[in-house]
Structure 1
């Protein structure tokens, strides 16, 4: 019976192609809009999260405020205090940063010089095109070794390997550093452009490059199994008590990623709700075509009733027709929405993440619209008197 009703539905659509196309248009646009908006929103959120996660979603960075740099609070030992008092921190990495001129025998450029511990490269998942990060012995012995960012290596050594070569770093006077590694290009984060940075051992920085009264920043690595946002909240509470809310700045990629996801999700849901209104408009079009169909096929309904068709059979036939229209419109709408999403994400250079939940939501709502707006015409058809229907002109 269901298959027969579907065949009848397609027969009715073929009989009035233009009217059917116009009725389908509202459903197609509605479903396509919902799918496109939710998919683009999901793709935007995931692309933003992927961009933020380059710096590590399990990392938290703490910067002392300008007025706190001479109080003696933010010292190397303070990192041990954070690890002791805040559960869930695996590693605390102090770092100091400043800018300097870097050159070899032929090339010269400005770069960011950062003094860090040997575990910094592993914590931030550096990948190397040449060599590796310096060792803990390099830091202990204050050796003058350096790891170059990709842009620095390309500028200073455009035609050959940088590994094993020497570069001069200027502060008050030039000091020579041997290159032990070159980092593969990495997106900027933590306010650091890795490609335009060079990294030297923390103790070397402190003794041979620039003496600091306090640590410039702490990079905190959150241990596996702990929520980064919860740990950063605990660090915030500790620092509020210790130096006050204006005594530091805290940056957490996980918090930014969560905020970006919430904002894009809310905005997408709002736009999708607006787009769903066009589905209701499409539903009115479905009701219109079904009422016209009932009027045109009154005599056919009368014949079927005279041959013994029950009201339920007649009602089922017209509801099946309405559902067929909306399902067809829903499929076309999903294809349209997916195509639009592909075009937009390519233009924005985002990675495409198809929102299959939006397919189900849009199709389900479309079918609901079909049943809701097809019910009245179906009831009207099922209640027709057979004699009056047969005499209808």
Structure 2
């Protein structure tokens, strides 16, 4: 292909990316101006879903998505203080109980999806597992499940979780503050060039170091940034525009996974997937209400902490709604590792029970 022919073929793709970027940014800023929780994330995700389903055939590079996760991880690290760690140490038993309940509930919903939704046992087991979607899809492929259906079930649940989570936050009056992306107790939006450079270096190093672990692009910058902040070495500083881009990158990456081929392939099972996701969210919400009542914790924080994924989306909503970020992140992370360790076991049990 000659250079002129390549340029002509490339032009429509460039125009689609320009359109996606412009519309996603405008919708995200609009929702943020209306004080919609996680509007900078939710808006681009909904726009990207529309593009994907309409056949745009666009894929955001995974490195951009991982960089966005790294920015969110460092943003959450800004909330890690000694007082937060001490309070978390006193609640470890509550977190362990909530993690166990959520994993068991997901297995029950997976079993119901197999019996009444017509989805194969191994696929339903991984599709309803409340862990990082990318990690669950990867593990599902290793165990012979249909990764297309698993990916669709995971991202359908992520969309349901984000939209219902934003709605619950809004109904509870925990709206984002226009003009701010996150609460801040320190110089998060400072202009000190050395702190900005060091913060960006932490993101890049953390994302690179986390390539071999589930949700590592989010967790490693969080751990590195949190440790450096606790040691007094780093004052986490990130420009607001960078966080807006990070939110948009994560939202677009998730949304663009919904293409027409995938939707057509799973269309007849889509109602069962959505119903299963909503039932799981409602069961986790009931669990959150009981735990909040028993421990005296605010319901919103407990709801976001027990909500079935994903880690990055719940972190964004928690930060924007002034929820207990430490508890939300700790419980979400604990559940992620719990699902990774027990996922194969529950998949085998669901297959065994549905074959009888």
Q: Which has the higher helix share?
A: 2
Give 1 or 2 for the bigger CA radius of gyration: 1
TM-score, length-scaled by structure 2: 0.22
TM-score, length-scaled by structure 1: 0.21
